[in-house]
């Protein structure tokens, strides 16, 4: 059990990639706090690993709720940000409201969650942040993904800043699609 004794907070932890991360971490002995806006999915997730997975019904943009949750957690070793959405727009037809919504979910939620829990992650000097993203930020142009791909570049820069705030410790960026998978560990400040 590689994660035995560790505590992880996973955003969108009951759906998509977050679901699989929650299950895998629990399987490796990690105590998981899964956050998701869908209580039905959270109930199913908790039933799969009773005792190791606790759940919180909350959207990834609930900054007040995240601060409140962080104040109730005694220890946190790992933050996993998996909350994201995709939009299909070109630069010519992407409405500002879509741009803002994609930014809020894919970038701002990562910032707000990290900000709320950084004091916990730095408390014992061993915290890690794992941010999931898309390979679209590494490709030179993805059709009809204007807001989605552009804002992923921003999340890459945020990882660098979080690494500094963690005292140079690990920010693990995971980028994934069906054909390609890349793992980048940002650890340049040690």
Which residues carry out catalysis? 148
- Residues with Cβ within 8 Å of 35's Cβ and at least 6 positions away in sequence, in order, are 9, 10, 11, 12, 13, 55, 56, 58, 60, 69
Q: Are 95 and 144 in contact (CB under 8 A)?
A: no
Distances (CA, A) of 49 to 2, 33, 122, 135: 17, 12, 28, 30
User: Which one, of 32, 79, 76, 34, lies nearest residue 58 by Cα?
Assistant: 34
Backbone angles phi, psi at 120, to 5 degrees: -70, -40
Distances in Å between the alpha carbon of 155 and those of 2, 13, 65, 73?
Answer: 28, 19, 22, 25
145: DSSP letter:
B
Q: Can you tell me the distance from the alpha carbon of 55 to that of 10, in angstroms, rounded to the nearest whole number?
A: 10
Host H or E run for residue 142: none
């Amino acid at each position: 059990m590689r994660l035995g004794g560790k505590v992880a907070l996973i955003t969108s932890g009951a759906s998509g990639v977050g679901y699989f991360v929650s299950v895998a971490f629990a399987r490796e002995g990690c105590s998981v706090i899964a956050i998701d806006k869908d209580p039905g999915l959270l109930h199913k997730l908790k039933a799969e690993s009773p005792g190791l997975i606790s759940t919180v019904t909350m959207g990834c943009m609930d900054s007040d709720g995240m601060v409140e949750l962080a104040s109730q957690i005694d220890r946190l070793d790992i933050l996993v940000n998996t909350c994201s959405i995709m939009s299909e727009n070109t630069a010519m037809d992407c409405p500002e409201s879509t741009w803002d919504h994609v930014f809020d979910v894919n970038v701002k939620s990562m910032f707000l969650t990290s900000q709320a829990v950084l004091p916990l992650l730095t408390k014992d000097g061993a915290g890690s942040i794992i941010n999931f993203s898309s390979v679209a930020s590494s490709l030179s142009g993805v059709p009809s993904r204007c807001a989605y791909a552009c804002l992923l570049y921003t999340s890459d820069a945020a990882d660098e800043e979080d690494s500094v705030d963690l005292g140079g410790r690990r920010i693990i960026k995971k980028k994934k699609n069906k054909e390609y998978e890349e793992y980048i560990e940002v650890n340049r400040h040690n």
